[in-house]
Amino acid sequence: MPMMMLILDGLTDDPVDFLGGKTPFQAADCKHLLHMKQYGAYGKFLTVPQGFEVDSLTCIATLLGVPSQTLPTGRAYLEAVSAGIALTEEDAVCRCNLVSVDAHGILQSSCAADLSDMQKNQLYKRVTHENFKFYPIGGYKNLLVLKNSAGRINKICTYPPHQHLGEPISKLLPQGNALAQRLSEFALQNCWKDENSAHTHMLLPWDVTVKQNLPSFAELHNLSGAAVCATEIVRGIALAMGLTVVTPQGATADADTDLTAKVRTALTLVHKYDFIMVHVNGTDELSHRCDAAGKAAFLQRIDAELVAPLIEQAPQDTTFLVCSDHSTISATGRHRADPQPFILYNNSKQQHGNLGTRNALQAISLLKGLI
């Protein structure tokens, strides 16, 4: 029996006044998802193990069955895996967002949303990085490899930029030790004033980590599996767990992604593997940009362009699990650790009712029909 997990990143949100007091999902016309809920089963997942940060790494790895004791403590290494960047046991790596800061030194955007990809790439050509290796990996996302620094990261404190919008950039620079000082100097050296706006753009290092391992998906679940995704951290999780990863042409990890290409890819893979994960990231990105209306419009596209053709064209006995990894609140751009809704659906089996609140570690077992 084929199994397909659709993860809509950052789906859940708060009601928004200009959407008539509805959440973006409620404001969207998601008739196919509502049909799945009506004729399937539903509930909520607890996706954030106690003591862990609310982020896609933690939540998606948990949905894939990774126990909390083996969850990685940072995601930069897995993004390096996704980008094909080789690291030794002695190396460290950190994420490095291109961000926008206003004339008062206040962080306005965690993703330099006011710049086109072409403008971002032009800035990357001007980066000074004597002490590190700098790797642009798409859009506002970059990595810094810190050679022979694995033993010096324990006392570094960094700040996720998407969690600190509206705060002074001076307080968000890396802190803690000599390596943190070098990272702060890197940020201050790579800072550019935009002549066409009041913004300054800079590279902000955060999330310093080292090489880490994840358990095999096949060994955890006795299933073959593949992932259809473009987001670096999701690709990294899937690759590290031994899943086959396919990123279709046109998949962008944002709201301009080609959903039809993801459908075609998933429908091809479903005949080759027991389990297919399809990840959609644009809902999360729009929330980080505080664009609730855009999020509602994108959810309507997801329902029509992704969900509808999958349930219509996948093999009749395919079981679907549609879920979110965490809340991303459009009013603030921040993640929140709410219980996350899920829908369990099969065209040939009608399952009705509320399955209650479950640990997200049970997600694959639900798909397999074991619980």
> Model confidence over 183-208: pLDDT tens digits?
999 999 999 987 777 789 999 999 99
Q: Which domains does the chain have, with CATH numbers?
A: 3-72+214-368 (3.40.720.10), 81-210 (no CATH)
Q: Predicted confidence band at 167 (pLDDT cuts at 50, 70, 90)?
A: very high
**Cα–Cα distance, 94 to 212 (Å, whole number):** 13
Average pLDDT over residues 341-347: 95
Statement: residue 74 has pLDDT above 90? no
Q: What are the tokens at 63? A: 């949905």
Q: pTM score, two decimals? A: 0.85
CA-CA-CA-CA torsion for 261, 4, 24, 351, nearest 10 degrees? 140
**Cα–Cα distance, 153 to 144 (Å, whole number):** 13
Q: What is the pLDDT of residue 157?
A: 94
Beta-bridged to residue 208, according to DSSP, are 94
> Model confidence over 23-34: pLDDT tens digits?
999 999 999 999
Task: Give residue 158's Cα distance to chain centre.
Answer: 19
Question: Residue 254 contacts by C-beta under 8 Å, 6 or more apart in sequence?
Answer: 139, 281, 282, 285
> Model confidence over 100-110: pLDDT tens digits?
999 999 999 99
Chain-wide mean pLDDT for the chain?
94
